[in-house]
Amino acid sequence: MNLRAMKLALTVDLMNLPGSFTQVATVQHSMSRFENEAGPYQGCKELDSSFIEEGIEQKTYKLQFKNVTLDLALITNEHSSEQYIKGFDLTENFA
């Protein structure tokens, strides 16, 4: 599995998303093109939620696939409902 290539391709996919409305489901869909390497999607869990300032919230999610885990940090503007990706980390699951 080439995690470096997956990270680069996922970065490009996420940068090319239309507008600034990013949902966890959109990121999950972007990962579907790596299903051969990542394995099937197994679920999502919200790890953390905190307010940065009035109306601006940061949430951290863990998207679990059979072979990899994607940790995703999103910033949400509650006034406009826009979400921005703060960052992500893709790690290989070792059995």
Mean pLDDT of 6-11: 90
3-state secondary structure of 86: strand
In this structure, the number of other CB atoms found within 10 A of the CB of residue 48 comes to 10
pTM of the model: 0.85
Burial class of residue 59 in the structure, from the number of CB atoms within 10 Å of its CB (0-12 exposed, 13-18 middle, 19+ buried) = middle
How many domains, the chain? 1
Range of the domain at 88: 3-92
pLDDT, one tens digit per residue, over 29-85 is 888 888 899 999 999 999 999 999 999 999 999 999 999 999 999 999 888 888 888
CATH code for position 47: 3.10.450
What are 71's two structure tokens? 């940790």
Q: Specify the DSSP class assigned to residue 51.
A: E
